[in-house]
Amino acid sequence: MSPVWLPWGGSAGGQYSSTLRSSFSSRSQSNGVDPKASLYQPLAKKDFGTLRGSGWAPPAGGGGAFLGLGEHSSRAPSVRSLAESGHHLGEPRAMEMYNGHSTLLGHHAGGFDDIDLPSAVKYLIASDPNLQVLGAAYLQHKCYSDSSAKKQARSLQAMPKLVKLFNSPNQEVQRHATGAMRNLIYDNAENKLALVEENGIYELMRTLREPDDELRKNVTGILWNLSSSDNLKDRLARDTLEQLTDLVLVPLSGLGASGVIQQNPSEAEIFYNSTGFLRNLSSASQQTRQKMRECHGLVDSMIHYVNSSLEVGKSEDKSVENAVCVLRNLSYRLYDEMPPSSLQRLEGHRRNAGGTVTGELVGCFSPQSKKAREHYLNADIVTFTEVSKDPKGMEWLWNPQIVGIYNRLLQRCELNKHTTEAASGALQNITAGDRRWAGVLSRLALEQERILNPVLDRVRTADHHQLRSLTGLIRNLSRHARNKDEMSTKVVSHLIEKLPGSVGDKAPPADVIVNIIAVLNNLVVESPMAARDIVYFDGLRKLFFIKKRRDSSDNEKSSRAAASLLGNMWQYTKLHRDFKMKGYRKEDFLSL
C-alpha cells in the first residue's frame, strides 16, 4: 500500500459548532476493557471469564463542555467471544489412534479390562517400553472424559512419571505419554499446575524439536490447553515464545525461506494449536503483551499468514481467526504501551502533551505563522512516509498497511464472524484515543481504504458481539473524520435503525447503544446535516425513549448519553420548527 499524506488536523466546525461540544457526562474510569482473559479463549468450556463492558471516560484535558465531560474514543474490549457467543472450540484432547492404526498394542477398549489405573501408572516406570506405552495408552483412554480418573491419576503421581517420558528414546512412548498428558490436563486446572510444577514446560519445548508431526501436535495441544489458565499465561510466555516462534510459527506461516504457506494436514493442526495458544497468551498482562510484541518473528508470522491466506482465498481459515485475534489483543492499549521512541516518532514534535502546537521557534518565525505551519506540514509528511516503509515486528501493529489488511478481512471473510469481529476490534484499538496517530489511521481508513461501506455492511447483519466492536470503530472514525456531513449521510440511518424505540423492541446491549449515540453526537456537533437526518429517520422518538428509560445502571448510562445528544441538537435553531411539528418542546431537549 503506497503511503498517502493525511493532514493531522480535523475539519473546521460548521456554522453552529461554536455552541456545541462533543461530550457526555461520565463517571467511568476506562475507555476499554483490560484483556485479562482474552480475545476468543478457544479452550475449555469452564475456562472462560467474564466480559466487562467499556464505558464513558473522563476528559483528556481542561476546558468547558456542554452537558458533560470530554468524550474519548473507545478501545475494543478484549472479547471473550467464545464464552459469550457459544462458539466453543473445546480444549484439544488426544485421540487413541495415530495414522489410522491402533497403537494400543492390540488392545481395543475391551482389552483394557484387565488393567486398572494404579497398574497403568506403575507401567509408566517399567523398563519395557511396551509396558510404558500400554500404561500411557490406558491413561489416555481412561482420562478422555472421566474427571474422577484425572484426579486419581494425579494422586497416584502419574504427572511426574509422564513428564519423564516426554523425551524417551522410544517415539511411541513419547507419543502416548504426551497424548495421555493432553487428556489429563483437559479442563483440569490442578493437573495443569502439576504439569508446570514438574518442569513440564521445559520438557515439552525439548520434545517440540522432534521431527515427528504426531508428537508436535500433542505438544502444541498441551500448550494450548495450559494457556487457558490465567495464572499460567505469564510463565508460559516467558518460557515458550521464542522457541515456539522459531520452531513452528516462522516455518509454517510461510515467513521462512519459501515465502509461501506449505502445510500438510498435520502441520496445519500444529500451526492451529500454536496460534490458539498465542491467542490465549495475548489476553494476559501488559508484560506478556509486550513480550509477545517484542518476540522476534511473532508478529511478522501472524501478518504474513493472514496476508498469504487472503491472497489465496482462505480468509475463513481457523488459524487466520486465531492470528487476527492475536493482533487485536496486541493492539490493545497500543499507544500507551509502545516504546517511547516509537511513540515520539509517530507523534512528531508539533504537538505537546495537551495536543497544542509547541511554542518553539522555527528559524526566525513564530509557530503560528504560515511558514511555521508549512514546516510542520512537511515534517508530518516525512513522518508518515517513513513509518509506512518496510515494517518489522511490532511496527506492523501501527503501520498504515495494517488498515488495508483488516479492511480486506472485513470484505472477504463472509462466514467466520469471529475473524471479522477481531478485525474491527483491532481497527477500533488503533483508532482510539487522543494520539495523533489514531487520527491519522482513522482518516486513512475513511479516505483511502473507504472502509465505511464494508463496516456498515457488517452492521446490518451483526450480532451483539460484532456490534460492540463495529460501533466502537465507527465511534472513533466519527471523532476523527474531516467531513462530518459526508459521514452523516452514510451512517445516521443505519445506526438509528439499531436503536430501540419502544418497550417491545429488541435492543442491543447498553454499550452498543452508548456507542451509537456517541457517533451521532460526534457528527451533530459539527454537522447540521446529521441533526436533520436524525429527525428524518425517526431518531427523535427513539432518543427520547432511551432518555426516559432509567430502570437500570446500564440504561442510566444510555439515558445520559441520549440527553446530551438531544441537548446538542436543540442548538440548531433552524430545526426547532421540525422539532415542534413532531410534538417536542425546548424543555424536552434540555431537561436531564
Predicted local distance difference test score (pLDDT) of residue 388: 74
Phi/psi at 22 (5° precision):
-80, 85
User: Is residue 431 within 8 Å of 473, Cβ to Cβ?
Assistant: yes
Residue where a domain terminates, one of 193, 228, 263? 228
Tell me the CA distances in angstroms from 232 to 51, 236, 277, 288, 394, one per residue in order: 20, 6, 12, 11, 24
pLDDT band at 347 (very low <50, low <70, confident <90, very high): confident
pTM: 0.81
Where does the pLDDT of residue 20 fall: very low under 50, low under 70, confident under 90, or very high at 90 and above? Answer: very low
Cα(125)–Cα(132) distance, integer angstroms? 7
- Packing angle between helix 189-197 and helix 158-165, nearest 10 degrees? 50
Same-domain check for residues 156 and 303: no
| Residue 3 covered by a domain | no
Do 244 and 218 share a domain, yes or no?
no
The C-alpha angle with vertex 254 and arms to 253 and 260, in degrees rounded to 5, equals: 135
Q: Is the pLDDT of residue 46 over 50?
A: no
Residue 185: give its domain's CATH number: 1.25.10.10
The reported pLDDT for the residue numbered 389 is: 80
Distance from C-alpha of 518 to C-alpha of 27, rounded to nearest angstrom: 16
What percentage of the chain reaches a pLDDT higher than 90? 69
The 10 Å Cβ neighbour count of residue 57 is: 21
Mean pLDDT (whole number) for 386-403: 90
SS3 23: strand
Q: 415, 432 in Cβ contact below 8 A? A: no
Up-side HSE of residue 538: CA atoms within 13 Å toward CB?
9
Give 360: exposed, middle or buried? Use CB within 10 Å, 0-12, 13-18, 19+: exposed
Point out the domain boundary residue: 406, 425, 449: 449
Tell me, what's the pLDDT at 371? Answer: 65
Amino acid at 283: S
Residue at 31 is within a domain: no
189 with 149: CB under 8 angstroms? no
Q: pLDDT (tens digit, 9 = 90+) per residue, 291-340?
A: 999 999 999 999 999 999 999 999 999 999 999 999 999 999 999 999 99
Tell me if 378 is assigned to some domain.
yes
Residue 60: pLDDT over 60: no
Q: Quick one: 389 and 338 in the same domain? A: yes
The 8-class DSSP code of residue 249 comes to I
CA–CA dist 577, 424 (Å, integer): 39
* Domain boundary residue, one of 407, 434, 449: 449
Q: Which residue would you say has higher pLDDT here, 348 or 370?
A: 348
Residue type, 183: N
Burial of 138 (0-12, 13-18, 19+ CB in 10 A): buried
- Residues 320 and 413 both lie in one domain: yes
SS3 157: coil
* pLDDT confidence of residue 18: 33
- 371 vs 245, higher pLDDT: 245
* pLDDT for residue 165 is more than 90: yes
| pLDDT of 25 strictly over 50 | no
Q: What is the DSSP letter of 163?
A: H
Q: Which residues make Cβ contacts (< 8 Å) with residue 313, sequence separation at least 6?
A: 412
Can you give the pLDDT at residue 345? 87
Same domain, 311 and 416: yes
CA–CA distance, 292 with 300 (Å, rounded to integer): 11
Residue 432: pLDDT over 70 = yes
Could you tell me the pLDDT band of residue 372, with boundaries at 50, 70 and 90? Answer: low
Which H or E element spans position 232? helix 230-244
Mean pLDDT throughout 182-197?
96
Residue 374 falls inside a structural domain? yes
- Whether residue 461 is contained in a domain is answered as no
59 by Cβ neighbours in 10 Å (0-12 / 13-18 / 19+) ranks as middle
The number of distinct structural domains making up the chain is: 3
Per-residue pLDDT at 12 exceeds 70? no
Would 557 be classed as within a structural domain? yes
Kindly report, residue by residue over 105-133, the tens digit of the pLDDT.
Answer: 444 444 576 889 999 999 999 999 999 99
Higher pLDDT, 83 or 350: 350
Distance CA 275, CA 24 (A): 40
Length of the chain as a residue count: 592
Q: Are residues 269 and 185 in the same domain?
A: no
Indicate whether 251 belongs to any domain.
Answer: yes
The Cα 422–Cα 258 span in angstroms is: 28
Is the pLDDT at 258 greater than 50? The verdict is: yes
Q: What is the DSSP letter of 401?
A: H
In this prediction, residue 369 has a pLDDT band, given cuts at 50, 70 and 90, of low
SS (H, E, C) 494-526: HHHHHCCCCCCCCCCCHHHHHHHHHHHHHHHCC
Same domain, 215 and 265: no
Q: How far apart are CA 292 and CA 334, in angstroms?
A: 13
Q: Place 233 in a pLDDT band, splitting at 50, 70 and 90.
A: very high
Residue 246 lies in a domain: yes
Same domain for 407 and 375: yes
pLDDT at residue 376 is higher than 60: no
**What are the pLDDT digits (tens) for 201-231?**
999 999 999 999 999 999 999 999 999 999 9
Residues 217 and 129 in one domain: yes
In a shared domain, residues 391 and 423: yes
Q: Give the helix ranges, DSSP H, for 92-168.
A: 117-123, 129-142, 147-155, 158-165
Higher pLDDT, 46 or 150: 150
Pair (169, 118) in one structural domain: yes
User: pLDDT value at position 87?
Assistant: 38
Judge if 503 and 545 occupy the same domain: yes
pLDDT value of residue 400: 93
Domain ranges, residue 215? 111-228
Q: Give 170-175's long-range contacts (Cβ < 8 A, gap of 24+).
A: 170/129, 170/132, 170/133, 171/210, 171/212, 171/215, 172/103, 172/129, 172/133, 173/129, 173/132, 173/133, 173/136, 174/207, 174/210, 174/212, 174/215, 175/98, 175/103, 175/212, 175/214, 175/215, 175/218
| DSSP 8-state symbol, 278 | H
> Residue 486's pLDDT band (boundaries 50, 70, 90)?
very high
